């Protein structure tokens, strides 16, 4: 195909939106607007509704002429043959699971746009040099089984299969299911080993909503994603002493919740100072009674920054500050005006997850940028300024592309989402924005395939 | 009986401790020490174990010659006849339910000491002028059915019966039981109306552990309780917006948990300033995922002070501060060093419970003080200084005596508890301290009965 032929390939916006909204019937969440599709999503990984979405993926891609296989983590790989089928496919993909109160675009757009890519290739009788494929990764959200991007992590060799299989469901509380038992229950425990060797990829492209406000605020259509910021997840445990709220003076308390509140505030101030992000999304306490000062609090802490060093510095500063606050010492003037207590709390940290900064592959980034430029029009391009249509970006969120990038060249495409809102029922990208992203995904994959053909790459550069 | 005869009446310490520890087999909680009885209690109101404790109360007091009746809230009244049985009894009592992670003394000591009082009266063939009685109040803790002192509140006419019956169990989460359904299930929905008219009291005395550190710190044996401090309970709801922790800059967040943390800290600082107490014992958030900034937080706020005015002033200052913090404005320098955000949270208050300051009855307080003085020895007594053995006190915690005091003269007796710890498995008062309290309870009831006889009071002063 000529560059012009490639640029002429366009997705069918309505067909794409129909796929998104049809599949979002399974696992529909909270309503946020009046229109029929203005509801969020609650499609937890390996739930009954996730099975429905998976069945749709299998049937649709099979009907489009793909050979579909499932691995031991339930990852679904749909491969459309190319001219040379001895080499690994060029992949597009994302995930179909959602947060418990998530929206219709996070992950879902990436998979449905990749399926739309298959349709466009078929409609235009395009024969790619190598196979072209779509992947649906299992449990990217880590919401139900608490490890993000579990199944791409097993595929890349970073997470042991057994650890992943043994992950316990945390939603609903008291669920006794594990990933393995749920994979078996819904019939998605595949017989192919979960690994980059058993399901090799020549490249991995992922379209995703930005999940942040930058593209919308700067009125840009496409984010060309060069990498993913560094992040670490911790569980922080504060232990004090249960005591009666009415009969225990401030001087005699070891109030684990007051102390945790100071720590959460301190983490925000410290991250602000270092140009990092620190966030707490989960907090549990015991015993949980209006008239009992809690003696036990456990909370999550998520620290992120573009550079690993910044995350580590912020972590160290938080560790020092939390220890001081637990001991009743002042940090950042937070204690000013508090009643000093003769009793202390203790604090313990557990590191749950470390994801160093990811730098995507230049060839993939270049393919995304070229496809976006074809779509949006040219303009002066130099350095990080790629024209008013788009922006070179670092992703704030982790994605399956982080693990994919460890075993093959990868990059991502971002499209704006309204108000930067994500992990929320009202998450929204317009049909035009979705189609923009799908067109760039299609263009990037076809371009990369062409590059492979030209350079004679079998399995990658 | 002469004063000397009264002073000669003494409880049997070992028998009392046996009652405490035997009944604490039902609903045993967390272990905190090596000895057999070193476990806490988890005897939620109207649970199966609460029924076992109630059955014990019924059988024991019946065997001691009492006439026992149960009212529509499950309150148990055991009446030992006196010389004149046309007048209401002088009561001693407390409650047998506990916090989910409570101890062996809160409430339990008050009921078992009252039962021990009956035994001592029987052993010594004491004929009181009027009936002497013991009451076991239902759901004092308000832990399972979230309204403290529910059943004494219905008895006094402050809480409508229907509201109390319809209270839903909050432990375990998702329990669908109501107070009424549980009263029926365990067979304690009595046929006597729950009211001070149907079960009149001439006076109400309650022995309780202090639940605070003062008596122990000052090495005093008995607290003569003159009243209960004022308190209000609120539910505070903070609404922000769910957003992705990695992709949403601090500038674009409406972080309900960070805001709630600032509010909890502010409430502590404001209460410190006003000489009040402010405490948060419950905090729930949504959606509850490590990588989602919570858009919804709800927490309890318990404000207490000896005077109603102080509580109201603290409440008003917290309301103003919380509104400012939700709007991103500074209060008490808490925002210093925070990243300002273009998005705000909202805050709503709901008042769950108001308990104005309670002043107990002089005659009851005098009876307690005289009984304590007999036990502990005399000494110079003037004003609030009642000798080194004891202290005139205001209770920090609410008790059934608050409601009882609305319909009859009342007072309370405090004994020290180790480290001031309560609402905790390791709550502890020594056998000697328990016996001290039981002796004063016995002495106060007998003294008050004598006072009634002397003054010819039928139903109270």
| Cα separation values, B51 from A28, B55, B67, Å | 44, 6, 19
Q: Is the pLDDT of residue B122 over 80?
A: yes
Integer Cα distance of A286 and B118 in angstroms: 38
Q: What is the percent of chain A where pLDDT is above 90?
A: 86
Give the residue-averaged pLDDT of B205-228.
95
What's the pLDDT band for A320 if we cut at 50, 70, 90? very high
- Report yes or no: B249 at the A interface, CB cutoff 8 Å: yes
Q: Is the pLDDT of residue A191 over 70?
A: yes
DSSP state of B46: T
Closest chain A CA to residue B100: A287
**Close Cβ partners of B47 (under 8 Å, ≥ 6 residues apart):** B27, B144, B182, B186
Integer Cα distance of B398 and B406 in angstroms: 14
Integer Cα distance of A113 and A95 in angstroms: 11
Q: Are A61 and A118 in contact (CB under 8 A)?
A: yes
Q: Are A121 and A132 in contact (CB under 8 A)?
A: yes
Q: What is the percent of chain B where pLDDT is above 90?
A: 86
- Report yes or no: A41 at the B interface, CB cutoff 8 Å: no
A142–B336: do the CB atoms touch at under 8 Å? no
What's the pLDDT band for A91 if we cut at 50, 70, 90? very high
pLDDT of amino acid B175: 85
How far off is chain B from A388, nearest CA to CA, in Å? 21
pLDDT of amino acid A387: 79
pLDDT of amino acid B28: 96
Give the residue-averaged pLDDT of A260-280.
98
Q: Strand pairing partners for B385?
A: B382
Q: Name the average pLDDT for chain A.
A: 94
Q: Is the pLDDT of residue B52 over 70?
A: yes
What digits encode the pLDDT tens for the residues B282-296? Answer: 999 998 889 899 999
Q: Which 3 state secondary structure label does DSSP give B209?
A: strand
What's the pLDDT band for A342 if we cut at 50, 70, 90? very high
What digits encode the pLDDT tens for the residues A54-63? Answer: 999 999 999 9
Q: Is the pLDDT of residue A408 over 90?
A: yes
Q: Are A407 and A231 in contact (CB under 8 A)?
A: no
Q: Are B348 and B236 in contact (CB under 8 A)?
A: yes
Model ipTM value: 0.84
Q: What is the percent of chain B where pLDDT is above 70?
A: 97
pLDDT of amino acid A205: 98
Kindly state the tokens that stand for B45: 């109101």
What's the pLDDT band for B378 if we cut at 50, 70, 90? low
The A residues from 251 to 280 touching B (CB cutoff 8 Å) are 252, 255, 257-258, 260-262, 264-265, 268-269, 271-273, 277, 279-280
On chain A, the residues whose CB falls within 8 A of the CB of B213 are 248-249, 252
Q: Is the pLDDT of residue A460 over 60?
A: no
Q: Buried b vs exposed e over A131-149: b needs ≥16 C-beta within 10 Å?
A: bbbbbbbbbbbbbbbbbbb
pLDDT of amino acid B297: 98
Structural domains for chain A: 3-228+357-455 (3.40.630.10), 230-355 (3.30.70.360)
Q: Is the pLDDT of residue B438 over 70?
A: yes
Integer Cα distance of B425 and A195 in angstroms: 50
pLDDT of amino acid A384: 54
pLDDT of amino acid A7: 84
B445: left (phi over 0), alpha (psi -120 to 50) or beta: alpha
Closest chain A CA to residue B395: A247
Q: Are A124 and A109 in contact (CB under 8 A)?
A: no
pLDDT of amino acid B2: 82
Q: Which 3 state secondary structure label does DSSP give A89?
A: coil
How far off is chain A from B197, nearest CA to CA, in Å? 30
| Cα separation values, B422 from B39, B368, B401, Å | 13, 23, 18
**Close Cβ partners of B353 (under 8 Å, ≥ 6 residues apart):** B147, B148, B231, B232, B233
What's the pLDDT band for B384 if we cut at 50, 70, 90? low
What's the pLDDT band for B123 if we cut at 50, 70, 90? very high
**Close Cβ partners of A79 (under 8 Å, ≥ 6 residues apart):** A66, A67, A68, A69, A89, A131, A132, A133
| Cα separation values, B250 from A73, A99, B243, B254, B340, Å | 35, 21, 11, 8, 7
**Close Cβ partners of A320 (under 8 Å, ≥ 6 residues apart):** none
B287–A249: do the CB atoms touch at under 8 Å? no
- Report yes or no: B305 at the A interface, CB cutoff 8 Å: no
How far off is chain B from A426, nearest CA to CA, in Å? 10
* Nearest residue to A47 (alpha-carbon basis) of A148, A138, A147, A165: A138
Q: Name the average pLDDT for chain B.
A: 94
The residue ranking higher by pLDDT, B384 or A53, is A53
What's the pLDDT band for A379 if we cut at 50, 70, 90? low
Q: Strand pairing partners for B395?
A: B228
How far off is chain B from A400, nearest CA to CA, in Å? 15
Integer Cα distance of B207 and B399 in angstroms: 10
Query: Which among A100, A283, A289 has CB closest to B281?
Result: A289
Q: Is the pLDDT of residue B313 over 90?
A: yes
Burial bucket for residue B432 (CB in 10 Å: 0-12, 13-18, 19+): exposed
Burial bucket for residue B337 (CB in 10 Å: 0-12, 13-18, 19+): middle
Give the residue-averaged pLDDT of B360-372.
96
Q: Is the pLDDT of residue A380 over 60?
A: no
Interface probe with B: pick from A215, A234, A280, A290, most Cβ of B within 10 Å? A290
Interface probe with A: pick from B210, B291, B311, most Cβ of A within 10 Å? B291
What digits encode the pLDDT tens for the residues A123-132? Answer: 999 999 999 9
How far off is chain A from B387, nearest CA to CA, in Å? 22
On chain B, the residues whose CB falls within 8 A of the CB of A423 are 242-244, 287, 289, 291-292
- Report yes or no: B327 at the A interface, CB cutoff 8 Å: no
Integer Cα distance of B451 and A431 in angstroms: 86
What digits encode the pLDDT tens for the residues B79-105? Answer: 999 999 999 999 999 999 999 999 999
Kindly state the tokens that stand for B215: 């008596």
Q: Are B84 and B202 in contact (CB under 8 A)?
A: no
The owner of tokens 């746009």 is A113
Give the residue-averaged pLDDT of B214-243.
95
| Cα separation values, A185 from A189, B20, B260, Å | 9, 50, 41
Rg (CA), chain A: 24
User: In terms of DSSP bridges, do strands A410-415 and A203-209 run parallel, antiparallel, or are they unpaired?
Assistant: parallel
pLDDT of amino acid A445: 98
Per-position DSSP letters for B358-385, written without gaps between them: EE--HHHHHHHHHHHHHHH-----BTTB
Q: Is the pLDDT of residue B385 over 70?
A: no
A456: left (phi over 0), alpha (psi -120 to 50) or beta: left
Strands (E), A212-338: 222-228, 230-239, 243-244, 277-279, 283-286, 292-293, 296-305
pLDDT of amino acid A172: 80
Q: Which 3 state secondary structure label does DSSP give A5?
A: helix
**Close Cβ partners of A99 (under 8 Å, ≥ 6 residues apart):** A41, A42, A106, A141, A143, A423, B287, B289, B292
What's the pLDDT band for A399 if we cut at 50, 70, 90? very high
**Close Cβ partners of A207 (under 8 Å, ≥ 6 residues apart):** A92, A94, A109, A110, A113, A114, A412, A413, A415, A437, A438, A440, A441
Q: Are B417 and B209 in contact (CB under 8 A)?
A: yes
Query: Which among B99, B283, B333 has CB closest to A287?
Result: B99
């Amino acid at each position: 195909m000529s560059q012009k032929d490639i640029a002429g390939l366009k997705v069918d916006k309505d067909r794409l939106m129909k796929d998104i909204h049809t599949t979002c019937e399974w696992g529909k969440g909270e309503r946020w607007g009046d229109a029929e599709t203005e509801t969020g999503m609650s499609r937890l990984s390996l739930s009954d509704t996730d099975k429905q979405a998976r069945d749709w993926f299998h049937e649709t891609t099979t009907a489009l002429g793909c050979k579909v296989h499932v691995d031991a983590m339930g990852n679904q790989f749909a491969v459309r043959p190319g001219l040379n089928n001895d080499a690994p496919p060029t992949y597009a993909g994302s995930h179909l699971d959602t947060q418990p109160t998530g929206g219709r675009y996070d992950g879902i757009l990436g998979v449905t746009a990749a399926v739309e890519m298959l349709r466009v290739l078929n409609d235009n009788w395009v024969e790619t040099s190598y196979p072209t494929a779509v992947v649906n990764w299992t449990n990217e959200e880590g919401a139900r089984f608490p490890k993000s991007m579990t199944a791409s992590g097993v595929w890349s060799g970073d997470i042991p299969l057994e650890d992943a299989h043994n992950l316990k469901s945390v939603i609903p509380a008291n669920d006794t299911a594990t990933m393995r038992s749920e994979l078996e229950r819904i019939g998605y425990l595949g017989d192919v080993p979960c690994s980059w060797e058993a399901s090799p990829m020549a490249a991995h492209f992922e379209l995703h909503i930005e999940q942040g406000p930058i593209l919308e605020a700067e009125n840009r259509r496409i984010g060309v994603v060069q990498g993913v910021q560094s992040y670490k997840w911790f569980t922080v445990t504060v232990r004090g002493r249960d005591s009666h709220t009415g009969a225990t003076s401030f001087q005699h308390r070891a109030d684990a919740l007051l102390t945790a509140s100071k720590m959460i505030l301190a983490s925000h101030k410290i991250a602000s100072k270092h140009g990092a992000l620190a966030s707490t999304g989960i907090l549990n306490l015991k015993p949980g009674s209006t008239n009992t000062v809690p003696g036990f609090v456990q909370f999550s802490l998520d620290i992120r920054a573009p550079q690993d060093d910044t995350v580590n510095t912020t972590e160290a500063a938080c560790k020092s500050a939390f220890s001081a606050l637990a001991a009743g010492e002042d940090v950042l003037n937070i204690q000013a005006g508090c009643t000093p207590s003769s009793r202390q709390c203790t604090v313990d940290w557990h590191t749950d997850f470390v994801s160093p900064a990811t730098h995507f592959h230049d060839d993939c980034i270049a393919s995304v940028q070229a496809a976006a430029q074809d779509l949006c029009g040219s303009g002066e391009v130099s350095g990080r300024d790629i024209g008013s249509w788009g922006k070179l970006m670092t992703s704030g969120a982790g994605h399956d592309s982080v693990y994919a990038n460890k075993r093959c060249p990868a990059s991502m495409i971002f499209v704006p989402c309204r108000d930067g809102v994500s992990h929320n029922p009202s998450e929204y990208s317009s049909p035009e924005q979705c189609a923009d992203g799908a067109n760039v995904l299609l263009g990037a994959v076809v371009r990369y395939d062409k590059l492979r053909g030209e350079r004679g790459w079998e399995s990658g550069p």
